[in-house]
Structure formats: structure tokens, C-alpha cells
Structure 1
Amino acid sequence: MKTILDLIVEELKPAFTGCGYDEKYIRVTVSNRPDLCEYQCNGAMAAAKAYKKKPIDIANEVVEKTAGSKMFSEINAVMPGFINIRLNPCYLASYVQQVAEDEKLGLNAAEKPETIIIDYGGANVAKPLHVGHLRSAVIGESIKRISRYMGHHVISDVHLGDWGLQMGLIIEELHDRQPDLVYFDPDYTGEYPSEPPFTISELEDIYPAASAKSKVDAAFRERAQQATFKLQSGYAPFHAIWKHIMNVSLKDLKKNYGNLNVSFDLWKGESDAQPYIPGLIEDLQKKGLAYESDGALVVDIAQEGDAKEYPPCIVRKSDGAALYATSDLATIIEREQDFHPDRYIYVVDKRQELHFIQVFRVAKKAGIVKEDTPMIFLGFGTMNGKDGGPFKTREGGVMRLEHLIKNIDEKVYEKIQEKQKVPADEMTRTAEIVGLAALKYADLSNQATKDYIFDVDRFISFEGNTGPHIQYMIVRIKSILEKYKELRGADAKVVPIRPAESETEKALQMALCRFGEVTESAFYETAPHKLCQYMAAVADAFNAFYLENKILSEEDAAKQAAFISLITLTKRVLDTCMDLLGMESPEHM
């Protein structure tokens, strides 16, 4: 289904070409001055230089050629050469009805579906999720959902940190705490226990204790490094401990990601990439791409036309150890073999940009990935406290994500309790649904690359540009539809959306017809904030329409039924947007 913008361009083509102007100059946008017009064409401005004419003269010629168009109720040329357009209400209503009848709400699904890898987890095992993990999870999940709605085959990977020094630290701290465990008996030859020697709470205490100890105890740190080396070399007792760490951590991570309504297709980690590293190093050397520099093995990534100098990518340290870049390259090899992706999207802290520039360039230089395969680094900004610094607890520590979610849920619970509109048996679940939308919308409504201030009181407000405000609009529509059904019963007929008779009715119809265009833009620009902006605009348009029209008390049954068709589509659009962003709406608020 073509977008309204595409259809306007098609309508203007005969006028431009009929006046002798190339159709490539037709540029149509939604007007940012709705008081003056709904759409604007700047084609005459673009064509003026090529045809050595005044823009206003070109605009007047084109407008004259469109006389009699059934699409436009008004089209005129204004200085210095803009073409201002208003749509015919009958044409608009017909288009919005097509949107309502379309399974994808007017979205042009991908003609050639791609296989897309989205890497948006990055949590470390043996550590709880904290606020620093929020943005990658929330942004990545929305991009996954938008991509799938577009018709693409998406594989999401959590890509866990599960193979570094933290493993050796945990093993040695466990050794100090429980030296009698069979894993530390060099003479033990039996089967290793199936039950882990620690709970998730104990494990989460072991790592920070070990990390702190390694900073003041050089001998302990040396032991941890040796333990890491032994683990990575396949030492069976330590591999058995590693499996326990993984099993206990994964169960907890899946629970906490689940609380965010975030899921992954793959729960792989750095450890899965290790078998591919020897072949990677050998291939880089064979192709003459890797060379020694100060004992390390590096690959140059500088390219002609670079605006700044990029350092070589280190793929092996002087002591023979692999680095994150090596692991990430090996992971790409694994993904290429398993999935042959057409596109990669990495949702990572923007401070890692240099790292991924290096990895992507080496991957293409070495032929691991085709030169024309998009490899997108979506670097996100930080979530800050009201003081402008990194968001922390009152004690100054990093807040656990589950504690943040709990705090928001409690504040929302208090708020809905005050309103006394939610049944008692729905209170807890409603607070969870609204709290999660408040948290996610606050994050996603900002452009991903930008930092933002975490302000829970503003985020949970039922008014303004917030998740709960949009949920409140959806709940209001649900209530109207339920009451209408009770009112009309068997007489409730579904009728087509009618031509708008008021500005608010037309504004709502115009907002609804843009769903496909906005969703497509959010995918291609990896910009979920665009969907948030759109959802807010639809909610505001509905609210203005609702305040002006007494839907349930409307005496004209046909008019009332058309209103119901319009708000039914509004709810469907808002529900779809919510789902694409990983949210939902409650039954009552």
C-alpha cells in the first residue's frame, strides 16, 4: 500500500512533466505549519536553478495544471515558491479506510526480506543486571520487533561476557571460601556434581569480593589469571565450575530480562567464539593483513578519505592473549557460517564506537563479511541522574535493574491507588504494566545517541509526553468501545470511516494514515524514537477529537458508528506501536 506522500507525488507528476519539468524535483513533506497547510511541495524551489526561472512562477504553473484534482481540497502557490496542499476529506477518508482494512495498517512490508543479526545484550554472567544494561535491552528489543514487523528474519543475540578474567576471579574466590570442593582436589577423578556449589545470591557476592581483592592482592590476581588460562585451555574441574556459573546466571538473567519484556533467540557468549579464533588469526596472517607491532599482532584499518586517524586493531596481545576485538571478529565468523546475515545491528554504548569501527573494517577487509553488507553501530548515550552525572543509588552505587523496576512499580501503584479507578485484583499487574511503559517510553522517546535525565516523577505522569499518558488514551478508547457495545448491542454496525467534518477529526485521520511511513522510517534509520513521537502525536490527536466530540451521546447513529470505526482504528494503531516498542496497555487506569 502506497503512502500518502507517495500518492501526492504521483498526483503531482503529470503537472510537473506537463509543464516541462523533470519529476525528480517533486519533493513532498508533511507541513510543520498545519495552520497554513497539511502538506508542502518544495519542487519549484529545487527546479528554479536548473530551469532559470523564479520558483513562484514554476509553482504557479504546476498548481494551475492540478485544477480539478479529486485528491486536493486546496492547492496554491505561495512565495517564494512553495506549493501548499490540503487533502480532500473524501479522499482522505477513503485512504484511512484502506489502512483499517490492511493487515499491516498501510505498511509496505519488505519486498526482499533480510536475515538480520541484532546484538543488544552484553551482560556479564555472575553479575546482576544494573541500570547500565537498560538502554541496550530496551532499544535493541524495539528494533528487533520493528524489523520483524517489516517482514525480516531477525536473530537476536544476548552475547554474554562469559569467558574473561572474571571467571578466574570467581574460581579463586570460591577456592578460598570452599577449599574442600572436589573441583580443587587434584586427585579427584569422579563425576562432578550436578548441583552448583552456590546460589545466585552467593555468586553475586563472590564476584565483587574477588574483584576488590584482586586490586590489593597481587598474588590473588595472579592466581585468578592462571585459573582463567586453565579454564580457557579446557581444564575439566574449572570448566565444570564455569558450567555452574552459566546455569545459575542464565536463569537469573532470563528472569530479569523477562521483567523488561525483552527476549533473545540466542543466549551465546564470548566462549562460543573461542573455537574460531585460531582460524581467524591464521587467516589474517595468510592474507598479509596482520603484522607484528611491539610484540602484538595488529591489522591496519585506516582508509583513504578518513577525516581522522584510526589506530590499528589489535587482534592478539604480546603475551598471546586474545582481546574483545578478536572475540567479536570470531563471533562474526560464527554468525556468517550459521546464518549468512544480510545486515548486522549492534546496540552498544556509544563510547565503544572506535572498537566497532575497527571490528567492522577488519571483518570486511578480511572478507569475513561482504563489502556491501550493512554493519550498523547504534551507539546509545547514558541515563543520568538529575545532577547530570551517571544515575546512581542514594548510597552512590550502581542501581540493580530489578530494584529500579520495583521502585517505579511502587510509585505507580501509589498513583493508581489515589485515582481509585482500577479494581483491587488488577492493581499489582496494572502497576507493573504502567511502570514498564513509563520506564521504556522515557528511554525510547529520546534519540538513542543522546544522554537523558532520569526523572521518575515525570516519567510516571498520566499527562504530557509519557508512556502512561498514551496508555491512558488507549484505556479511554477501550472504555468508549465497551460502553458503545452495551449501548447498541446487536444494533452496533461496523461502518466505513467517513469524510471528516471537523479539524480534529481530520487531524486524527491524517495522523493514522502515517503509520506505515513512520514505521518504515524507524526501521531504515534504526530510530525507535520516531515511533514514540508518532504514537504521542496519534494519542494527542485522539484526545483533541475526543474532547470536541461527544461520541457516546451523539444522536446521529450513522455518525456515531463512523466515530467508533475511527477510534477503533486509533486503538489498533496505538496498540501496534506499543507492541513494537515492547509495551502494552492495561484494562483500567
Structure 2
Amino acid sequence: MKYLLDLIGNEIQAAFAACGYDTTYAKATISNRPDLCEFQCNGAMPLAKSAHKAPIMIAEEIAQRLKESVLFETVEAVKPGFLNLRLNKEALSEYLSNIAKDEKLGVNAPEKVKKIMIDYGGPNVAKPLHVGHLRSAIIGESVKRLGRYVGHEMIGDVHLGDWGLQMGLIITELKERKPDLVYFDENYEGEYPSEAPFTISELEEIYPTASAKSKEDEKYKEAAMQATYELQHGRRGYQAVLAHILDVSVTDLKKNYENLKVSFDLWKGESDAQPYIADMAKKMQEDGYAYSSEGALVVDVKEETDAKEIPPCMILKSDGASLYTTTDLATLVWRQQDYQPDQVIYVVDKRQELHFVQVFRCAKKTKIVPEDMELTFLGFGTMNGKDGKPFKTREGGVMRLENLVADTNKEMYRKIVEGGKVPQEEADQTSKTVALAAIKYGDLSNQASKDYVFDVDRFTSFEGNTGPYILYTMVRIKSIMKKYQEQGGKVECGNIMPAKTEAQKSLMLILARWNEVVENAFADLAPHKICAYIYEVANALNHFYHETSIMGEEDETKKAGYIRLLNLTLKVLEDGIEILGFEAPERM
């Protein structure tokens, strides 16, 4: 379905052409002065010089043509050369009626369905999720949902940190505590136990203990490095321990991500890239891309246009060990081999940008991926506390993500119980639903690349640009529609009628932009644009609600039209929050 703004633009182009003017200047924009007009075209002013006419003369000439169009209610030429337009109410209601009949509300299927892999989450196994993992998880989840909504094949990969020294540290500490475990017997050739020799709580305690020891005890660190080397070179017992670490960690991670309504199609990790590293490095050397530098294997990735120095991309360290660049490149090898994606999007901390510049350039230069594969870096800023510094606990430590969620649930529960509109037996679940909206909307309403302050008091408010405010608006619509149904009405039977008030028309004009907003938000990988839009919808709906006697309307046809408009508004808001990754309760 064409965007409303494009339909208006087509009419303006036709008028420019009919008057003999260059249609390049025939562009429609939403007016920034809604008190004067709804749309405008300023093309007469830049056109004046080449047309050898005063801008107002050109605008008046075009206005006369546009007045013949059934799309406009009023067309006015205003000095020095503005074209001010108001949309015909019948044309607007017809456009919205067509949108309401479409499952995606006018969002067009892409010309080419792309297979897009999205790398987000990135937790380390054997460690609890902390607040630093929040942004990658919920931004990535929203981008994935947004891509699916517009019609692309989206594949989400958690990309676990499950390799390197941290694994060697865990193995070393486990060996010290339980040296008789069969995993440490080099001569053992049988099957290893199916049950892990530790719980998730024990595992989460083992790693920091081992890490602390390695910083104080050089022999302990050397043992951990040796364990890492043996793990990476195929020692059976250590690989069995790794399998247990992954099983226990992933089970816990899935539970925590599920509480955030975040899910992944693939649970691959750095360890999955290891089988590809040797052949990849060998081919890079054989093809003349990789060379030895002080014992390390590197690939030059600098370009003549670089404003600052871009260091070579290191493939292997001098001792033959791999790095993050190595595993990221090898991950691209298996992604290309198994999936042949059109695009790979990385949702990671913006401070890793240089790393991904090196990885992307190296991947293209060494032909690991096809030249036309898009590699996209979506860097996010820091979640800060009210002091403007990275979010910490009161004791100054890194806060576990589940504790942040629990604290927000607690504050939301208090506000909902004090409100007194939700039965006690529903309050707990309702508070969790609204708290998740508060957290996700509070984060996603900010442009991903920007730092922001996590403010529980503000995020859980029922007023202002917050998740609870959006949900409260939806609950209000549900309440009205329920009353209408209880009186025998059917919410989808009426037609969307031409607007009778400015508040109604304003709401309708905003709803008509849904398809354009969604498609642009995905093109820019910008969930914050969905937040800004649904906040605008909620404000317009509440303004319309306060100015209009909906259930008190005596004309049943008009009342049915109002309800149909409310139903469309609810559908837009429901689709919006589904993209953002949360849902609305029945009451608040």
C-alpha cells in the first residue's frame, strides 16, 4: 500500500507537471504548524530562480490545479511561496479503512525477502547476566521482530562467550576441588557422566574464585592457560566439562532471557567457530592476505581514505592462540557455509566499533563472505545510573540483571496496588507485565547509540513518555470496547467514518502513517522510532477520548465508527509493543 505522504506527493507532482514545472521540487512534508495546515510543499521557492517567477505566483498557479483534486479539503498559497494543504476527510477515512483490512496495516512486503542473521545477547557462560547485557538483548530482539514484521527472514544468534581462558580457569578450579572426577583422568576412555558435577550456583561461584586466584598465583594462572590449551586442542575430559558448563549455563540463560521475552533461534558460541579456524588461517596465508608480523598472523585492513590509523587485523597470536577477531571471522565462515545470509547485523557495545571495522574489512578482503553480503554494526551506548555513571548496585558492584528486573517489579507492584484498580490476585502478574514494559520502553525509546539514565521512578510512571503510559492507553481502549460489546455491539462491524472534530482527524492522520514509520524504522534499525510513534498515537488517542463522548453518542452509526477507529488504534499499539517485545494487561 502506498504511503499517505506518497499519495499526496503524487498529486503535487501531477500539478507541477501540468503547470510545466520541474517535478523534482514537488515534495510533500508533514506540516510543523498543524494549526495552519496538515501538509505543505515548499518547492515554489527553490524553483523561482529557474522559472523566472516570484515564488508566490508559482504557488498560486499550482494551488489552482490542486484544488481540483479530491484528496484535499483546502489548498492555500501563502507568501513567500508555501503551499498549505488540508486532507479531505472522506479520503482519509477511506485510506484508514483500507489499512484496517490489511493484516500488517498497510506495511508492504519487501521487494526482495532477505535472510538476515542478527548477532545479539553475547553473554558469557558460567556468569550471571548483569545490567550490561540488557541493551544488546532487548535492542537485538526488537530489531529481529521489526525485520520479521516487514517480511524478512530473521535469524537470531546469541553468540555465547564460551571459549578462551575463562574455560581453563573453571576447569582448573574444579580440578582443585574435585581432583578425583573422571574428567581429569587422561587414561579414561569410557563414557562421561550425563549429569554435571556442579549446579549453576556453584558454577557462578567457581569462575570469580578462579579469576581472583589467577591474579595472585602465577602457577595457578599457568595451569589455567595449559588447561585452556588442552581444551582447545581436543582433550576429551575437558571438552566433556565444557559440554556440562554449556548445558547448565544455557538452561539458566534461557530462563532469564525468557523473563525478558527475548528468544534466540541459534545458541551458538565461540566454541562452534573453532573447527573452522585452522583452515581459515591457512587459506588466508595461501591466498596472500595474511602474513607474519613479530610471530603473529595478521591481515592489513587499512584504506587510503582512513582519517585515523586502522591497525592490522590479528588472526592468530604468536603462540598460535586465537582472539575475538579470529572467532568472529570463523563465525562468519560457518554462517556463510550453513546459511548464506544476505546480511549480518551485530548488536554490540559501540566501544567495539574499531574491532568490527577490522573484522568486516578482513572478511571482505579475504573473501570469507561474498562482496554483496551486508555486514552491519549497530553499536549501543551505556545504561547509566542517576549519577551519570555506568549503572551499579548501592555497594558499587555490577548489578545482576534479574535483580534489576525484580526491583522494577517491586516498584511497579507498589504503584499498581496503591492504584486499587487491579484485583489482588492479578496484581503480581500485572505488575510483572507492566514492569517489563517500563524497562524495555525506557531503554528502547532512546536512540541505540546514545547513553541514557536508567531511572526506575520515571520509567514506572503512568504519565509521560513511558511504557506504563502506553499500556494504560491500551487498557483504556480495551475497557471502552468491552463496554460496547456488553451492550451488544461488534467492534469490527462499523466503518471508519470521516472525522467530525480536529482531535479525531489528528488521530486518524497519525494512524495513517504506521506503514511508513515501520518501514523507515527497520531501514534505519531504529526501534526508538517505533517508541516515538506509539507515544504520539497514545497522546492523540487520549486527546480524542477526552474531547469525545464515545459511549454516550446516541447515533449508533457514529458510535460504531468511533469504536472501529478505537479498534484500529488498539491494533496499531498492539503491533507496536509486539515489535518492542512486551504486551499489555487487560486492566491496570
| TM-score normalised by L of structure 2 | 0.98
- Kept in 1, the 8 Å contact 2:117–2:157? The answer is yes
Pair 1:54–1:362, CA change in 2 (3 A) = farther
Separation (CA, whole Å) in 1 of partners of 2:85 and 2:508: 16
Seen in structure 2, the aligned counterparts of structure 1 residues 280 and 203 have a Cα distance that, compared at 3 Å, is same
Q: Is 1:512 aligned to residue 511 of structure 2?
A: yes
Paired with 1:46 and 1:332, the residues of 2 have a C-alpha distance of: 48
Measure, in 2, the Cα distance between the counterparts of 1:518 and 1:69.
26
Summarize deviations over 1:413-453 as a string: whole Å, max 9, x none. Answer: 11110111112221111011000000000000000000000
Q: Is 1:36 matched up with 2:23?
A: no
SS at match of 2:361: helix
Correspondence for 1:222: 222
Residues 238, 492 of structure 1: alpha-carbon distance in 2 compared, 3 angstrom cutoff: closer
Structure 1 match to 2:407: 407
SS at match of 2:308: coil
Q: Deviations over 1:554-583 (max 9, x none)?
A: 112111111101001000110010101101
Aligned AA (2:226) = Q
- 1:543 correspondence with 2:507: no
CA deviations 1:522-544 (Å, max 9, x no partner) are 10000000000000000000000
Instruction: State the alpha-carbon separation in 2 of the partners of residues 66 and 269 from structure 1.
Output: 60
C-alpha change, 1:215 and 1:47, in structure 2 (3 Å) is farther
Q: For each residue in 1:259-316, what CA deviation from the matched residue of structure 2 results, as whole angstroms up to 9, or x when unmatched?
A: 1000000000001111111121122112211122222111111223223221111111
* Residue number in structure 1 paired with 2:498: 499
Call closer, same or farther: CA 1:2–1:324 in 2, change over 3 Å.
Answer: same
CA deviation string 1:344-393 (max 9, x = no partner): 11100000000011111111112222223221100000000000000000
CA separation of 1:478 and 1:492: change in aligned 2, threshold 3 A = closer
2:107 matched to which residue of 1?
A: 107
Task: Give, in whole Å, the separation in 2 of the partners of 1:45 and 1:106.
Answer: 33
Matched ranges for 1:402-441 at <5 A? 402-441=402-441
Q: Deviations over 1:58-101 (max 9, x none)?
A: 33332222122111112223334332221111111111111111
In structure 2, distance between residues paired with 1:478 and 1:344: 39
Could you tell me which residue of structure 1 aligns to residue 78 of structure 2? 78
Secondary structure, aligned partner of 1:208: helix
Q: Say whether the 8 Å CA contact 2:312–2:358 is kept in structure 1.
A: yes
Report the identity percentage: 61
Matched, 1:526 2:521: no
Alignment correspondent of 1:267? 267
Asked if structure 1 preserves the Cα contact closer than 8 Å seen for 2:55 and 2:81, the reply is yes
* 1:89 partnered with 2:62: no
Q: Aligned to 2:85, what secondary structure does the other structure show?
A: strand
1:270 & 1:122 partners in 2: Cα distance?
10
1:306-345 correspondence runs (5 A): 306-345=306-345
1:83 alignment partner, SS class: strand
Partner of 2:371: 371
Does the C-alpha gap of structure 1 residues 363 and 98 become closer, same or farther in structure 2, counting only changes over 3 Å?
same
Q: Could you tell me which residue of structure 2 aligns to residue 566 of structure 1?
A: 565
**Correspondence list, 1:1-400, <5 A:** 1-51=1-51, 53-400=53-400
* 8 Å Cα contact 2:491/2:567 also seen in 1: no
Q: Distance in 1 between matches of 2:423 and 2:319?
A: 64
Distance 1:48 1:309 in 2: 47
Q: 2:492·2:567 contact (CA, 8 Å) conserved in 1?
A: no
SS of 1:375's partner is strand
- 1:576 paired residue number: 575
C-alpha change, 1:50 and 1:239, in structure 2 (3 Å) is farther
CA separation in 2, counterparts of 1:558 and 1:236?
A: 75
Residues 372 and 562 of structure 1: is their aligned pair in 2 closer, same or farther, counting only changes over 3 Å? Answer: same
Match of 2:449 in 1: 449
**2: CA distance, partners of 1:320 / 1:435:** 48
Please tell me the residue identity of whatever aligns with 2:402.
E
Contact conserved, 2:473 with 2:538, CA < 8 A, in 1? yes
Work out the CA distance in 2 between the residues paired with 1:159 and 1:493: 44
Provide the C-alpha distance between the structure 1 equivalents of 2:410 and 2:396, rounded to a whole number of angstroms. 21
SS of aligned partner of 1:73? strand
Q: Secondary structure at the match of 2:582?
A: coil
CA–CA distance in 2 between the matches of 1:567 and 1:224? 62
Distance (Å, rounded) in 1 between the aligned partners of 2:119 and 2:532? 25
Superposition deviation, residue 25 in structure 1: 2.4
Task: Name the CA distance, whole Å, in 2 between partners of 1:30 and 1:81.
Answer: 16
The secondary structure found in structure 2 opposite 1:378 is strand
Closer, same or farther in 2 for the Cα pair 1:516/1:221, shift >3 Å? Answer: same
- Range moving further from structure 2, 492-501 or 278-287: 492-501
Output the aligned Cα RMSD: 1.4
Other structure's SS at 1:146 match: helix
- Partner amino acid, structure 2, of 1:280: M
| Structure 2 counterpart SS, 1:322 | coil
Bigger mean CA deviation after superposition, 305-314 or 532-541: 305-314
User: 2: CA distance between counterparts of 1:139 and 1:178?
Assistant: 41
Instruction: Describe the shift of the 1:547–1:351 C-alpha distance in structure 2 as closer, same or farther (beyond 3 A).
Output: same
Structure 1 residues 207 and 55: alpha-carbon distance in aligned structure 2, compared to 1, 3 A threshold: farther
Deviation at 1:490, TM superposition (A): 6.0
Paired residue type of 1:384: N
Q: Distance in 2 between matches of 1:116 and 1:246?
A: 26
User: Is contact 2:12-2:28 (8 Å) kept?
Assistant: no
1: distance between equivalents of 2:35 and 2:289?
Answer: 60
AA matched with 2:447: Q
Once the two structures are overlaid, the 10-residue window that deviates more, 103-112 or 258-267, is: 103-112
Relative to 1, partners in 2 of residues 1:508 and 1:290: Cα closer, same or farther, differing over 3 Å?
same
Distance in 2 between residues matched to 1:560 and 1:329, nearest whole Å: 60
TM-score, normalised with respect to structure 1: 0.98
Greater mean alpha carbon deviation, residues 383-392 or residues 21-30: 21-30
Q: What's the CA shift string for 1:503-550, capped at 9, x where partnerless?
A: 100011011111100000110000000000000000000000000012
Q: Cα offset for 1:198? A: 0.5
> For the residues of structure 2 that align with 1:460 and 1:408, how far apart are their CA atoms?
8
SS in 1 for 2:118: strand
Report the Cα offset of residue 31 of structure 1.
1.8
Specify whether residues 170 and 442 from structure 1 end up closer, same or farther in structure 2 by C-alpha distance, changes over 3 A only: same
- Counterpart code for 1:391: F
Q: Which range is displaced more, 167-176 or 423-432? A: 423-432
Query: Secondary structure of the residue that 1:377 maps to in structure 2?
Result: strand
> CA shift at 1:42, angstroms?
2.9
Take 1:148 and 1:97, find their aligned partners in 2: how far apart are those partners?
A: 24
Q: SS at the partner of 2:34?
A: coil
Bigger Cα displacement from structure 2, 382-391 vs 313-322: 313-322
Q: In 1, are the aligned partners of 2:92 and 2:509 still within 8 Å (CA)?
A: yes
State the shift of 1:29 in Å: 1.9
Residue 53 (structure 1) shift:
4.6
2:466 corresponds to 1:466: yes
Change (3 A) 1:62 1:490: closer
CA distance in 2, matches of 1:491, 1:110: 34
Matched residues, number: 588
Larger mean CA deviation between 35-44 and 255-264 belongs to 35-44
Residues 484 and 490 in structure 2, CA contact (< 8 A), matched pair in contact too: no
- The answer to whether residue 584 in structure 2 is matched with residue 588 in structure 1 is no
How far did residue 114 of structure 1 move? 0.5
1:493 Cα deviation (Å)?
7.5
CA distance in 2, matches of 1:305, 1:485: 65
Contact 2:25–2:47, Cα closer than 8 Å, also in 1: yes
Matching of residue 553 in structure 1 with residue 528 in structure 2:
no
